[in-house]
Amino acid sequence: MKKRSWGYITLGLLVGALLGSLFGSLINWLLPEGVVKDFFNLGVSFDLAGLVGNQTGVIVIDLIIITVKFGLSIAFNITSFIGLVTAYYFLRFFR
């Protein structure tokens, strides 16, 4: 039995979450205002700068000669979670 690399698994899960988020955006665009649309919009967002208390979403390091900016934001909603679970399910069977 052949083992898969962590990179292959991570890429598969990332693609699943991305497709789930795209599907969620499509649902959000198609559905009228209401409880169902609010359910599919429900999600959580993490950003790198939020960990240090910066509200702009970007960490800035000013070294006088050069300024370095770091930013990373990840948003998960219900459909991205469904895409993640679906990708995991398919990864189990493609060996």
Instruction: Write out the chain's pLDDT in tens, 95 residues.
Output: 467 788 888 898 889 988 988 888 888 888 899 888 888 888 888 777 766 666 677 888 889 899 988 888 888 888 888 899 999 898 888 76
What's the CA gap between 24 and 35, in Å, rounded? 15
Q: Which helix (H) or strand (E) holds 86?
A: helix 78-93
Six-digit token string for 26: 């499509």
Distance CA 15, CA 18 (A): 5
Asked if residues 40 and 24 have their Cβ atoms less than 8 Å apart, the reply is: yes
State the pLDDT at residue 66. 92
Give the predicted TM-score (pTM) of the model: 0.68
